[in-house]
Amino acid sequence: MSTIESRLAELGVTLPDAPAPAANYVPYVIVGDMVYVSGQVSANADGFIKGKVGADMTTEQGAEAAKRCAISLLAQLKAACGGDIDRLVRVVKLVGFVNSTPDYVEQPKVINGASDFLVAALGDAGRHARSAVSAAALPLGVAVEIEAIFQIK
């Protein structure tokens, strides 16, 4: 088991298989030492995590949905690295979209679910630049979608 996957296991997380793309795009693109991962939507073993934060979901529930996006991002990274996730140098950037009501203003707290998880799992390599924005709707009615840029060796 890799060092990163050992740390994930300590946190009670096992990486799932990387989700397949749902349309005409690729799940990731590698350019030099950078991996650009397509947006990963909130999902768990039971299916998509749907809802609108500020209406039928709390900020805390949104943060848990964002954490699930981060787990999918790491699964895609592992696939991009041919199964060797320890090639990760650092998380460079996250762009997070929150399906929220027009008056909801805590998008950063929702995306903290992903950011906090990545720092807990990866230490300083998990610290990153990021954006957290509202969306009137997201694909399939999911609560959160996050894309990422990673540096690998």
Does the structure show a pLDDT above 90 at 22?
no
Q: What span, in angstroms and rounded, lies between the C-alpha atoms of 59 and 79? A: 30
Query: pLDDT by residue (tens digit) across 39-96?
Result: 999 999 999 999 999 999 999 999 999 999 999 999 999 999 999 999 999 999 999 9
40: enclosing H helix or E strand:
strand 34-41
Structure-block tokens of residue 26: 């690729």
What pLDDT does 2 receive?
87
How far, in whole angstroms, is CA 69 from its chain's centroid? 3
**Residue 95, helix vs strand vs coil:** strand
Q: pTM here? A: 0.97
Helix axes 107-122, 3-10, angle to 10 degrees: 120
All structural domains of the chain: 3-152 (3.30.1330.40)
Q: pLDDT-derived band of residue 19, with 50, 70 and 90 as boundaries?
A: confident
Contacts of 13 (CB under 8 A, 6+ apart): 71, 121
User: Is pLDDT above 80 for 1?
Assistant: no
Q: Which residues neighbour 101 within 8 Å (Cβ) at sequence distance 6 or greater?
A: 52, 53, 54, 55
CA 133, 60, 20, 85: dihedral to nearest 10 degrees? 100
| Chain mean position to CA 130 | 12
Structure tokens at 97: 């979209």
Task: Say yes or no to pLDDT of 111 above 90.
Answer: yes
